[in-house]
Amino acid sequence: MFSKKEIKTLSNELVSLLKKIDYVDLFCFHGSRAAGRAAKDSDLDYYILFRGNFKKRIPKLFDLIGKETSLDKKDYFLKNDFVDFYGTHFVLQGKKVSIHFLEANSFEKYLKSLFKNEKMFNKYQPFVKGWIVEAIPLYDPKNLFIKFKKYVKFDIKFQKEAINKKLNLIKLMLPYAEKEARKNLYIFYHNLNCIINLIIDILYLKNKSFQISYFKALKNDIKKFKPNIEKELLYLIEKPNKEKYLKNKISIIKRIVKKLK
């Protein structure tokens, strides 16, 4: 477990180093610790936004951090599910520290396209929540973080259209699910899970909030969401899909839909 002193000391070390590098535009603390929902064994997470070519910049930054700070470098790898970014693994006294490297122009382009359509929104919203909404800027010489916050401010037209589409889909699926509950439980459970996911989507949209795929985050978020369907939603998620719960689950879904209209 990282102490507050360790986090502060390491953050200051990294800021001092990155201030000397002219192509670094932003440095943020992010992840579960920044969001206040970390477990004891959670990593410490940062990201660095830079300008320039990945192949030229990353090895140099990786080596500099290993040499100029108290971190021991381990490895780095490429991911492609948001923008092209390198996830790196360092160690501080046996504890894992992850630093992500993102290219500034690509990152900004993806933020601008967040509300372009539902597919883009669903793909990028977990990263937006982790890297913008819940992140804490530690070094921001160009005030980019404020600009990025504006990019991810909820688009009202997109919000309304997405909510209506998902509500209509639930209304179409529910009678079919009820019918299958008497005939084919496998299909019923599949439909039930789809409906629960749609309800969660609508709840986040109504509250102008972004999702990440962690149940712990969902449990924390729904406590403050309106309408308050925490009790009903947790029943749907946590109660096993057994026959004795089916009627209750269907009636709860109908009650939730009325609240979400």
Threshold 0.95, pTM exceeds: no
Query: Cis before residue 227, ω within 30 degrees of 0?
Result: yes
CA atoms within 13 A on the CB side of 181: 19
Average pLDDT, the chain: 90
Between CA 49 and CA 92 the distance in angstroms is 22
Q: Is the pLDDT score of 242 beyond 90?
A: no
CB atoms within 10 A of CB 53: 9
| pLDDT tens column, 62-114 | 899 999 999 998 877 766 555 567 788 899 988 999 999 999 998 999 899 99
What order of strands is seen across the sheet that includes strand 136-139? 72-79, 85-92, 95-103, 44-50, 24-30, 136-139
| pLDDT tens column, 159-171 | 999 999 999 999 9
Pairwise pLDDT comparison (134 vs 82), residue with the higher score: 134
Going by pLDDT thresholds of 50, 70 and 90, the confidence category of residue 177 is confident
Average pLDDT over residues 25-36: 93
Give the best-scoring range by mean pLDDT among 21-35, 178-192, 206-220.
21-35
Between CA 142 and CA 132 the distance in angstroms is 16
What b/e string do you get for 20-37 counting C-beta neighbours within 10 Å, with b at 16 or more?
eeeebbbbbbbbbbbbeb
The per-residue pLDDT for 78 is: 63
CB burial class (10 A; 0-12, 13-18, 19+) of residue 13? middle
Q: Is the pLDDT score of 192 beyond 80?
A: yes
The per-residue pLDDT for 14 is: 98
The per-residue pLDDT for 83 is: 58
Phi and psi (nearest 5°) for 2?
Answer: -85, 135
Going by pLDDT thresholds of 50, 70 and 90, the confidence category of residue 184 is confident
The per-residue pLDDT for 39 is: 79
CA 103 to centroid of chain Cα atoms: 19
Between CA 227 and CA 205 the distance in angstroms is 12
Average pLDDT over residues 14-29: 97
